[in-house]
Amino acid sequence: MPVTKDSKKVYLTHASGSSAEVYLYGATVTSFKAASSEGGKVEERLFVSDTAILDGSKAIRGGIPVVFPIFGPPPTDATAFPYHSKLSQHGFARTSIWTLNSEFETSDGGVVVELVLNPTPEITSAFPPPFALSYTLTLTSTTFTASLKITNPGSAALQFQTLLHTYLSTPSHLDALVYPLKGLSYKDKTRGGNTFVEDREKVDVKEETDRVYAGVGPEGKLTLEYGGKEKGGVEVEIGGFVDATIWNPGEKTGSAMGDMHAKGWESFVCVEPGYVSEFYSLEAGKEWVGKMVLKVF
Ligand code: BG6
């Protein structure tokens, strides 16, 4: 069976040997195993902390948490954002229980599931603006596609930020390189949130890194190259999203995180396609789609 499920997770299995797992809690994808080419070794491509909390009491530390309708700490302008300003960091999508709505196979063997999140009474009491989220995940032999559709069924514009907080597994963060980012402006949260322009062809992630690069999309591609002796990496194709956060907490911040195992930060780089520099204003009755394709090479 290409799709199986239990009370907590949905499991996708592709005929080639690739596989994926997604928690209903947060629609958090916690595993994508694939080879870099047909016949290659099937390996885990996502990082999940050994000490991640998986009982639904806290957002999962790793995989691909879905960020909506705010990114980072809530906005401080309570007049412009009366509801957003009261939410928790990164919003409620990553801590809500989603529903498996459909599962099917594409004509070329891709395995597809769609998870949905509609407002529950609990969400509406904190965040009254109407919305509907549909998250379609597609597994092939060497790719994993996550496509988030945000619909505004209300009668006023829906303001949101959104992001796929993708923890890509790397042999070592010391060797990892992300590109192309040269020429893009970025907000550096490790340097007072000030804005700079990237001047490097390939960006390393050796130190604590917490940057939001603007202008990566709405159509684009970032490459995470493993670097060092390891060959390969992951391409991150982007559609709809305009920004990308590059994040690694480094030793000082990482070792202070309760749900990060010792030296866990050495084994991943977060490449996070998002719409986060500004709020997107989605007109009544309209929809918006952000898509990410992970392609192992
Ligand atoms: C990143 C942010 O996307 O997520 C960081 O840019 C933040 O500032 C990190 O620390 C992790 O956030 P959280 O809420 O999952 O600990």
- Give 194-210 pLDDT, tens digit per residue: 999 999 999 999 999 99
pLDDT for the residue 83: 98
Distance, C-alpha 103 to centroid of its chain: 21
Please report, to the nearest 10 degrees, the dihedral formed by the alpha carbons of residues 185, 269, 220, 34 taken in order. Answer: 180
Nearest CA to ligand 1 atom 9: 247
Assess contact for 64 and 146: CB atoms under 8 A: yes
CA–CA separation, 170 and 268 (whole Å):
5
Atom of ligand 1 nearest to the CA of 71: 3
CA–CA separation, 43 and 296 (whole Å):
10
Parallel, antiparallel or unpaired: strands 9-13 and 3-5 = antiparallel
CA of 230 to the centre of ligand 1 (A): 27
How many Cα neighbours within 13 Å face the side chain of 180?
6
Domains along the chain? 3-296 (2.70.98.10)
Phi/psi for 114 (5° steps) reads: -125, 125
Chain length of the chain: 297
Chain segment 148-186, per-residue pLDDT in tens: 999 999 999 999 999 999 999 999 999 999 999 999 999
* Ligand 1 first shell, C-beta below 6 A: 59, 72, 89-90, 165, 189, 210, 245, 247, 272
CA of 248 to the centre of ligand 1 (A): 9
CA of 12 to the centre of ligand 1 (A): 27
User: Is the pTM value of this prediction over 0.95?
Assistant: yes
CA of 271 to the centre of ligand 1 (A): 12
Nearest CA to ligand 1 atom 7: 72
Atom of ligand 1 nearest to the CA of 94: 15
- Give me the residues of the chain with pLDDT under 50, please: none
Atom of ligand 1 nearest to the CA of 89: 14
Atom of ligand 1 nearest to the CA of 253: 10
Query: pLDDT averaged over the chain?
Result: 97
Q: Where are the alpha helices (DSSP H) in the chain?
A: 121-126, 250-254
Residues 6+ apart with CB under 8 A from 178: 202, 203, 205, 222, 223, 224, 225, 246, 269, 271
